[in-house]
Structure 1
Amino acid sequence: MSLIIQQTFTVLEKGTVTAPQGYKAAGLHAGIKKKRKDIALIVSEVPAAAAGVFTTNLVRAACVTQNEAQLKEVPYLQAIVINSGNANACTGAQGEADALTMRNHTAQELGLPEHGVAIASTGVIGVQMPMVPLLAGISQATEELSVAGGEDFAQAILTTDTGSKEIAVQLTVDGRLVTLGGAAKGSGMIHPNMATMLAFVTTDAAVEPAALQTLLRRTTDQTYNRITVDGDTSTNDMVLVMANGLAGNAPLGEQHPQWEEFAAAFRYVSEKLAKDIARDGEGATKLIEVIVQGAASERIASQIAKSIIGSSLVKTAVYGADANWGRILAAAGYSGAPFDPARVDIWLGSIQVAEGGMGLLFDEEAAKEYLLGDPVTITVDLHQGDHAATAYGCDLTYDYVRINASYRT
């Protein structure tokens, strides 16, 4: 297998959540969805330090509230089970009971303590979970676990996604080979307000639980929190991480001499999954990258970048290959972040279209040609400091309306 060199780590040409030592996975069709795979399971040979971040939506699915409370009490997991096709959100007391049954059944089938299993659901909101196919599917998945099951796992968590999103990287820590794997789903209801999707990261590194949670929170703010498709924050969003320690390194924490190397690899995995989600936005034809530089703080840069990437007018202009830079500046202006509009420069790729908050004479045809390509990079320089931030999104097309007009049918 060929490897691509990237900084202090290597990116596997084809990697899954089972790339690290000690993980097996499965993905299959149980009947929750009509045809596509809808049950996914990942299991570690040994208990793993775990961390999670969850949606900030006040309307939350049972799996979100359950996992969050569980990890606060015991920050270790040995398995994660996911169903797609049904969100089990806004389903009341029965939904809460079904979530517990889903967790407990998985634990029983695997011979694990109940607190060692996390659950996730994704799909239609407000519909009771079909428990008969769900539980049968979980039982079948426990029998089909394998190292080769990572690809099936990645496919089984999808809803309106056009394809699976996977990655794995490797680096050396304390002379031991450490691997990180990841899989994610997300295409609609994507907005930077936690993660607004599902993502699962595995590693065989030994990591202190508190350090893992801190790293995940920081990384989420820099990656998953900087993507948007449609401005909608979902009810089921979460990112879960498991670190089982089978690589044999000394436990990683902020005092470990190679902590920043591990953190860089972890961020690369998260950024790749986040960009894949943004690129795969429902109906999207291209990835949009917004870089805000010259800001007085990273918070200001991030706030402005997310405002621009979330603008429906910016997104439709990119779809139509219209170099309407005024929409970009306007979106920065209503971000709520302080800056001086009279100092702002704007580029579309390498073509500068505005300087000092005013338009420049530029080659409209060249700009249109650039916007027809993929990806599209928008750079905004505030000229007010040394901080920068990048946000990711996609264009807004007719197909987005078509897909979401008939989501339940």
Structure 2
Amino acid sequence: MNLQEIGGGVCAPKGFIAGGVHCGIRKNKEKRDLALILSDRPCAAACTYTTNKVKGAPIAVTRAHVADGYARAILCNSGNANTCNADGVEIATRACQLAAQALGIDENDIVVASTGVIGQPLSIEPFETGIPALAGALSPDGSPAACEGIMTTDTCKKEFSYSFTVGGVPCHIGAIAKGSGMIHPNMATMLAFVTTDAAITPELLQKAVSSVVADTFNMVSVDGDTSTNDMLTCLANGAAENPVINNDESVAYEEFCSALYHICEALSKSIAADGEGATRLLEVRVAGAPDKATAKAVAKSVACSSLLKAAMFGADANWGRVLCAIGYTPGDFDADHVDVRFSSAKGEIEVCRQSAGVAFSEELAKEVLSQDVIGIDIDLNAGSAKATAWGCDLTYDYVKINGDYRT
């Protein structure tokens, strides 16, 4: 596939421009709160959405707009989730109409998203004043501004882009995402927008997106709370002019899925690492499971354990919390032969063998667990299936951030 990291974010693929402005939704005038991504031609479009029963109004509008499998633009505001508002759908619809007028495209070709505080009134006025300015700010170099426009409590931009080949034809894929708290995707608070110039049918794009999301974003947890507004949207405009991918058993489809997986994995890890108040990224790698479903369930159960997350904050090799989380994982599997290792840039240390403790150096364990990225390797010794989940430590700052998030 010859995947290589490049610059440009969502503007790396041919035919895409982007931008971000402050329109007045957020009180802080130094922070952008409105973002736009635009393709110069129609795109195959695929989305996944939160499984929360309470959903942001933009999701209903986006579902309707991409029902035909196509879109050209993505409009997203931060600072207000437009969720649980009596006029939420009307606001989201009107925002699309304003963007369509400014861009000269059909309003039904616009994906709309919102992120921020739930249940707060949202006025159309910021969109009325901000969208014309935003349309004028669109640029081939606008990905960083768009990325900033979708951020809430994020402390860093989540932006990646790669070049790859499909059937020997050079293609590009770019993405931006936001997510720091209320992260427990199923799809779920996070937003991710992916662009590519590869040519693929809407049906296969949706299949690829749904499959990749299941093994990347849905394996991330910061705090166990599934957001009301989660959405991933992928737009593929075909500007690379590769033969259209229309066969899910083809090498071309595999090449595309590999690139999509790679960028979604990078976004997933960056979201977990930037969890609210987090100081460490946790990568839970499960092997030896009887099947893939069990491997994924165990990995996510461990990554979600508040007790383990707190122990990792304290660099405490309390491996019993790993076994505890494995033990309450739903499913029919044997937990009597589990091996556990902790690892980081400082090395690795075995802490459990056959579900029993082994002697280890607490000093070395402290050193291993004091790094920014911690690996938790679990072998169930019950099969050949494996899976990975990502999380972060649980710190004092998480409570501080969420104690006054609204006020």
Does TM, scored on the shorter chain, surpass 0.5? Answer: yes
1:106-125 mapped onto 2 (5 Å cutoff):
106-125=99-118
Query: Structure 2: which amino acid aligns with 1:205?
Result: A
Number of equivalenced pairs: 400
How far the C-alpha of 1:95 sits from its partner, in A, is 1.2
Q: CA deviation at 1:67?
A: 1.2
Contact 1:287 1:395 in 2 (8 A): yes
Query: Paired residue for 1:366?
Result: 364
1:15 Cα deviation from its structure 2 partner? 3.2
Shift of 1:355: 0.9
- Which residue pairs with 1:355 in the alignment? 353
Pick the aligned partner of 1:60 from 43, 48, 55.
55
Superposition RMSD in Å = 1.1
Distance 1:381 1:222 in 2: 19
1:46 to 31, 41, 54: 41
Is residue 28–residue 141 contact of structure 1 (8 Å, CA) maintained in 2?
yes
Work out the percentage of aligned pairs sharing the same amino acid: 47
Contact 1:82 1:121 in 2 (8 A): yes
Q: Which runs of no fewer than 5 residues in structure 2 stay unpaired? A: none
Distance 2:324 2:383 in 1: 20
For 2:69 and 2:402, the matched residues in 1 are separated by: 37
Compute the displacement of 1:342 (Å). Answer: 1.3
Instruction: Kindly state the Cα deviation for residue 408 of structure 1 after the two structures are TM-superposed.
Output: 1.1
- TM-score, scaled to structure 1: 0.96
Residue 15 of structure 1 aligns with which residue?
8
In the TM superposition, structure 1's runs of 4+ consecutive aligned residues that sit over 6 Å from their partners are none
How much has 1:330 moved relative to structure 2? 0.5
Output the amino acid matched with 1:395: D
Query: CA-to-partner distance for each residue in 1:92-132, whole Å, 9 max, x for gaps?
Result: 2x111111111111112111112101100000100111211
SS at 2:195 equivalent: strand
State how 1:17-96 maps to structure 2 within 5 Å.
17-33=10-26, 34-35=28-29, 36-71=31-66, 73-92=67-86, 94-96=87-89
Letter in 1 for 2:181: G
- What SS is found at the alignment partner of 1:321? coil
CA contact (8 A) 1:196 1:224 kept: no
What does residue range 263-282 of structure 1 map to in structure 2 within 5 Å?
263-282=257-276
2:279 to 285, 302, 306: 285
Aligned counterpart in structure 1 of residue 395 of structure 2, from 389, 394, 397: 397
Residue 31 of structure 1 deviates from its aligned partner by: 1.1
Deviation at 1:85, TM superposition (A): 0.3
Check conservation: 1:304, 1:337, Cα contact below 8 A.
no
For residues 166-186 of structure 1, give each alpha carbon's deviation from its aligned partner in whole angstroms, at most 9, with x where no partner exists: 111111224421000000000
CA contact (8 A) 1:291 1:380 kept: yes
Q: Per the alignment, do residues 132 and 192 of structure 1 end up closer, same or farther by CA in structure 2, a change over 3 Å counting?
A: closer
Query: Which residue pairs with 1:377 in the alignment?
Result: 375
Q: Residues 377-405 of structure 1: CA distance to partner in whole angstroms, max 9, x if unpaired?
A: 00110000000000001000000000000
SS of 1:346's equivalent in the other structure is strand
- Give the secondary structure class of the aligned counterpart of 2:10: coil
Q: Residue 177 of structure 1 aligns with which residue?
A: 170
Match of 2:90, SS state, is: helix
Q: How far off is 1:304 after superposition?
A: 0.6
Listed as ranges, the matches of 1:107-186 within 5 Å are 107-186=100-179
Q: What's the offset of the Cα at 1:328?
A: 0.5
Match of 1:213 among 206, 209, 221: 206
**Residue pair 2:188, 2:227 contacting (<8 A) in 1 also:** no
Please tell me whether the aligned partners of residues 74 and 115 of structure 1 are also in contact (alpha carbons under 8 angstroms): no
Q: Is residue 199 of structure 1 aligned with residue 192 of structure 2?
A: yes
Deviation, 1:194, is 1.2
Deviations 1:309-343 (A, max 9, x none): 00100000000011111111100111112222211
Q: Summarize the alignment of residues 331-350 of structure 1 with structure 2, pairs less than 5 Å apart.
A: 331-349=325-343, 350=348
Cross-structure match for 1:307: 301
Q: Compute the TM-score of the two structures, normalised by the length of structure 2.
A: 0.96
Q: Is the 8 A contact 1:62 1:88 kept in 2?
A: yes
- Deviation (angstroms), 1:279: 0.2
